[in-house]
Structure 1
């Protein structure tokens, strides 16, 4: 009984001077390395994006922290007697922004 062997993978090592740029482009594309190389070589559209988010996680995390600070400030304004209906709308908007940030980071809100 003979077993079929898988073909040897094709590997690519970018030159040392281009390595950082290569990895940055792959990260920005949101694709796996293999899908990025295939799309770059053949100009084809990949079948799907990878599961990792193509966002700057530090920026989204910072925005998430800032929404928490804004939420606290709005609650303080509500206690000080500001327009409750307007503050309620602002808090709902912040909750939507928070949910979008968590989704962008790949977390369930």
Structure 2
């Protein structure tokens, strides 16, 4: 099975890239996995990190969830007549690595 990983920061430029990836997936019969990488602050700030309250991280994750779901629904509405549409993954998960979180659909 082919799967295209599409990274987005929800900007206008990223929107163009997402749409390009969608039509590439249609033409190659691949699926799409949407991903938004966000930074979750560490509990103990390191020299290179800006101190930020940990309780605010939940709001960041929820907003990322909302934006990814909105994007997935917008892509689902494209090309209703298309005989073969890609599966767009929409379940969110969090992966932690050194105080950072990668928010991806899996």
TM-score above 0.5: no
Q: Report the TM-score range of the alignment, normalised by the length of the smaller protein.
A: 0.3 to 0.5
More relative contact order in 1 or in 2 (CA 8 Å, sep 6+)? 2
The structure with the greater share of residues assigned to helix is: 1
Structure ID, larger Rg: 1
Q: TM-score, normalised by structure 1?
A: 0.32
| TM-score (norm. length: structure 2) | 0.33
